[in-house]
Copies of this chain bind each other. A is one copy, B any other.
Amino acid sequence: MSLTDYFKTIPDIAYEGPESDNPFAYKYYNPAEKILGKSMEAWLRYAVCYWHTFRGTGADPFGGATLCRPWEDGTDSVDMAVKRADVVFDFINKLGLKFYCFHDRDVAPEGDTVTQTNKNLWTVAKRFKKNQKATGIDLLWGTANMFSHPRFAQGASTTPNADVYAYCANSVKEMLDVTLELGGQNYVFWGGREGYMSLLNTDIGRELDHLAKFLHMAVDYAKKIGFKGQFLIEPKPCEPTKHQYDFDAQTVIGFLRGAKLHKHFKLNIETNHATLAGHEFVHELEVARVNGMLGSVDANRGDLMNGWDTDQFPNDVKECTHAMLSIIKNKGLGQGGLNFDAKVRRDSTDMEDFFHAHIGGIDVYARALRIAAKVIEDGKLDGMVTDRYSSWDAGVGKDVEKGKHDLVSLQKYILKKGTAAPNQSGKQELFENVFNSYF
């Protein structure tokens, strides 16, 4: 089924196996295939993102738009928005995926008044609902763009301008309503302007209080309207602000705990944001996981030699396998998924390129899932880890874990023993060799 003709020259992307050299086929992603008792599709829950893929122009801070799409008429009108909605669903369909996700401003333009802006959004949402029914494609999550318009330049819910705060309340309320209407499974906050450019002119205590209040209002409103989606916060250390409040997973978790919001939120971890914060991607996943807050993933990659958000499509199988190991330990992402918050390079100007980009990203994670499953089924690495901690499974270690010790009793134990048993080797290189053997 096809809503438009724009991709008629592109074949439906299907699984052909690792030997295929067809650039328009999956070599690893076989949606229905069972891995560890669940279909690949169910593990991976890929989503196409509206912003980069359908609103990205290739502009960067030093140059203008390079990407011209044949369906665009050069306007940011509601008509164009509705037409574009059909193209998007066709694209997702071509890829054989099941989810999309968007910000309010990706899909519908602002109007002259807030009232008109809201109306524009609902016009497009209506088309989405129709297209969802027609295609079986679902909404992974919705969110409000509270960072692009100049009014947000100094913050959204952390703005010094109380009117802007009220404006944001309207945005989130409407997008919660829209997300509910479209059966969206999550609602995301990314605080692109929630931070500061200079501490000299910023009252961070006051701003953080406003942020906490705002999130509470969103939680309360969701409850009121019966929205059962998962709330997610997406950490990022900086850019566009000098310093964002949601620096990394631990920062967000700490903030949520302090604001008594932690039961209502999980985290949406992005690869490129992790590395900008000085953490490996898997570190952020693990931090979220061990705190019970791993919710969803922005599947992209950064360039570790560059200090900004390059938002490239994932292509490092090893990094993604690390990630999938964490996700499998988390028993999957629940209502969350893997959305491609990634953009083709600005000189990848062919329409085919955004197929190549998605196919590559999809296959890298699919391959990573296969490898991670093998690692887990083998049990070799897990066994080595268990051995490494075996002193905690008996004797004094076990007693500590059971809460039977204090400093005095532990001192007594070690004084009697005279000194500590020597450490076993950490064997990091062997761990690395074994891990490498799965690739």
Contacts and interface: CB of A to CB of B under 8 A. Distances in A.
Interface in A336-393: 344-350, 352-353, 356-357, 359-360, 363-364, 381, 384-385, 388-389, 391-392
Contacts of A65: 150
Categorize the interface residue count of chain A: 35 or more
A147 B63 contact: yes
B192 A62 contact: yes
A414 interface: yes
A397 interface: yes
Given A277-B278, A407-B218, A240 B61 contact: yes
B279 A197 contact: no
Interface in A315-353: 315-318, 322, 344-350, 352-353
Interface stretch (A7-15, A83-91, A125-133, A159-167): A159-167
Contacts of A166: 396, 400, 410-411, 413-414, 417, 420
Contacts of A344: 428-429
29 contacts: A61-B239, A62-B147, A63-B149, A63-B152, A63-B153, A114-B418, A153-B347, A161-B421, A162-B396, A163-B414, A166-B410, A167-B420, A169-B410, A172-B407, A197-B347, A198-B432, A203-B388, A204-B286, A213-B401, A217-B406, A238-B306, A242-B310, A250-B250, A278-B305, A280-B305, A315-B433, A349-B426, A350-B425, A363-B436
Interface string A394-430: 0111001101011110110111011111111111111
A317 B426 contact: no
Contacts of A151: 420, 422-423
A392 B206 contact: yes
A-B pairs, 10 with minimum CB distance: A307-B307, A254-B254, A162-B397, A169-B410, A347-B426, A163-B420, A250-B251, A205-B290, A162-B391, A257-B257
A398 B248 CA distance: 30
B318 A242 contact: no
A401 B210 CA distance: 7
A275 interface: yes
Contacts of A396: 162-163, 165-166
